[in-house]
Amino acid sequence: MSEIEERKERQKQRLSGWWIVLAIVVAIIGIPAIAYGIFSLTSSRAMEAELERLRAAGELIDLMDWAPPPIPPDEDSTPIFQEAFVAHDIAEAALKASATNEASEDSDIPSLAQWYILLGEEPWEQEHVSIARQVLTGHADTLEALRRIPPRPRVNFEWNYQDSFAMLLDELMQLRGCGRVAALAARLEAMEADYEQMVKDIQTGLRIASVPDEDHMLIVHLVRIAFEAIAVGNLESILREYNVPAELLAQLDADLRNARRELDFGTSMACERAMGLDTLLRLTSGEMDIRELSGMPEGDRGGSGLRVISRLAAPFFRKGVIYYLERMGQLIEAAKRPTWEATKEVAAVSSSLEEEMVPDSPFFRKLTLAPTAILMPGLSRALDSHLDSYARLDSMRIAIALRRYRAEKGELAPGLKDLAPKFLPELPLDPYTGKEFLIKREDGMVTIYSASSDLRDDGGQIESDERPGRPPDLGVRIREEISE
């Protein structure tokens, strides 16, 4: 072979080697890129197919489907509430300006600026009564407006569902303040034996709590639970001390029953699914990154680099959307069952997610589950909050029925079953156990209580030794026998 031919052969070999290197590089880069492209396409199609399946089944998975409908002008109570809010703010500003009785650390008497502390005091001293009267004098216009609220108020507040956090709206915080005013009025009226007006103001408090009924977001339900706790806790304090006529107490049963019926966990779960889906779709489209989803402060989010990584992870997040919808679907179905069965199923769904997110899980699996793990961890506790509210509302209904039985029969009811159907249309069951509520009588007091989430009878311990804290049992304690 000539020298020229040998040179050409060597050039061929070198060129062949470069082609091999190039082919290897292309394979290293191209095959994963092609696989990523295929995975991205299939995950997108799978997510869209799941969304279409749910829509075809009539499921409300779009967030705006849950926006409260417009209210006809003749049914709109918004002007009444706006009038009450203005009066409330004026009165509170005046009370704070005139607050000269600053409370010391060792005093049980609150300042005028913190008058709402009175609602947790039992019994009232003369100083408490004096403060309550000053507060209610200042809130005369607030009360006048609140007492015009109809039995089932509907409002046209500007609640922007795209913001997702209706609980932060000024209207809800003002509703809380108005609920406290109504509760304080009822407490003072009970002390002055104006029981007819007392019952009306308790009803006003429950009506204020019912305002978010048409807003089904879970967080708003939790705010409503807090509002109802003000009215029910205040009624419990009143019934421990005062002999409210039985015929007036009977008027409260329907209000308490309606409050219980309107607070539906399953509906709030379906709305929560739509809210979570809206958030996840923004994640998969690149509008937000995973750290924004987790609520990390802006300065700690890693800048544009993390956004690029989140975009690259979009196919896994789309798979995560499907996983999220499946898990939320399980919770919605569980919520349709009796509450004592739903708690077990909701706990099982939460546990399965925790088990799949263990540290040694494959990285890409954890990437797929991460959005669901961020959005869902509090839902089991949210169900407990609903069941706690059910327990308090129903135990109060039973306690009132016991007082009515004692007033009519002249003796204590032998058992809870003796209350239905005359004093209760049906006997409520413990939302945690599905059995009758527990009852404890002691020194003229009666405690009606639920075994709570631990399913254990702790002897009617409905007050926590540590504040704030969740008591071992849930319920109410009132005086069953009050001397005339």
Q: What is the pLDDT of residues 382-441, one digit of tens each?
A: 888 889 999 999 999 999 999 999 989 988 899 999 999 999 999 999 999 999 999 999
Same domain assignment for residues 207 and 290:
no
Tokens read off for 126: 């003369």
User: Which residue, chain included where needed, has tokens 């109410």?
Assistant: 476
In a domain, 88, yes or no: yes
Same domain assignment for residues 329 and 466:
no
The rounded distance, in Å, linking the Cα atoms of 85 and 19 is: 78
Give the domain-ending residue among 202, 223, 255. Answer: 255
Strand order in the sheet with 474-479: 438-442, 445-450, 474-479
In a domain, 261, yes or no: no
The angle, 0 to 180 degrees and rounded to 10, between the axes of the packed helices 195-209 and 170-191 is: 160
Total domain count, the chain? 4
In a domain, 53, yes or no: yes
In a domain, 395, yes or no: no
In a domain, 404, yes or no: no
Same domain assignment for residues 201 and 278:
no
> Residue 96 — very low, low, confident or very high, per pLDDT cuts 50/70/90?
confident
Closest CA to 431 of 227, 263, 284, 208: 263
In a domain, 207, yes or no: yes
In a domain, 164, yes or no: yes
Same domain assignment for residues 446 and 367:
no
Same domain assignment for residues 183 and 292:
no
Contact 54, 61 (CB under 8 A): yes
Q: Which range, of 137-141, 176-180, 293-297, 315-319, averages the lowest pLDDT?
A: 293-297
> Residue 252 — very low, low, confident or very high, per pLDDT cuts 50/70/90?
very high
Same domain assignment for residues 186 and 239:
yes
Same domain assignment for residues 74 and 191:
yes
Same domain assignment for residues 419 and 458:
yes
Range of the domain at 42: 1-58
The model's pTM is 0.83
Q: Give me the chain's average pLDDT, please.
A: 83
What is the per-residue pLDDT for 104? Answer: 43
In a domain, 19, yes or no: yes
The rounded distance, in Å, linking the Cα atoms of 385 and 404 is: 29
Number of other CB atoms surrounding residue 34 within 10 Å: 10
Same domain assignment for residues 231 and 99:
yes
The CA radius of gyration of the chain, in Å to the nearest whole number, is 30
Number of other CB atoms surrounding residue 134 within 10 Å: 16
Give the domain-ending residue among 223, 255, 287. Answer: 255
Give the domain-ending residue among 358, 377, 396. Answer: 377
What is the per-residue pLDDT for 464? Answer: 61
The rounded distance, in Å, linking the Cα atoms of 418 and 405 is: 9
Where is 422: in which H helix or E strand?
A: none
